[in-house]
Amino acid sequence: MSSLSILSTLDLYEPHFDKALVQSTEEYYLAEVEQLSHTMPASEYIRHLDTRVQQEEQRCDRFFERRSKNTVMTVVKHVLITLDAEALIDRSFTNLVKSDDIASLRTLYHLLKLVDKVDPMRARWAQYIKVCFPSSSVVLMIGYRCGTCNEF
């Protein structure tokens, strides 16, 4: 029998361990975001966020009771993605598009979709299309770079 199972059996899991787990997880990731969000290159930071979400998912599956997983994952996604979503888009979108970093754009979209925050990214795409292709109703040019746009 695991230590967590014993805590659960004694009705100590929820009031003591679970609350401490969620609080320490939130504090840890708030500090990590504060440290890394402005120092890592955008594509690297986006990969890091994706890796962290996956690691926490696996950690929850392996070590904690199911009831903790939802709470912990909600906190992890909130801290890593939701709190910084619009700032992350503002910091990274233009450079990712300019460098044709499709993998990072895809990962960013996936992360934003996890927390229902894709609308700001869609708005940036719409803005990009309006500025770079003002007279076109539909543009399907793969690899086209806007030469007139200073924003993107």
- Look at the block and give the residue holding tokens 């903790």: 68
The tokens describing 118, both together, are 């894709």
Q: What is the DSSP letter of 139?
A: -
Nearest partner of 71 among 86, 82, 56, 87, judged by Cα:
56
Low-confidence ranges of the chain (pLDDT < 70): 1-17, 135-152
The pLDDT of residue 101 is 96
Report how far residue 86's alpha carbon sits from residue 146's, in angstroms, rounded to the nearest whole number.
Answer: 24
The answer to whether the beta carbons of residues 48 and 36 sit under 8 Å apart is yes
Nearest partner of 52 among 31, 68, 66, 38, judged by Cα:
31
Is the CATH code 3.40.50.10420 the one for domain 3-116? no
- Domain ranges within the chain, ordered by starting residue: 3-116
pTM across the whole model: 0.79
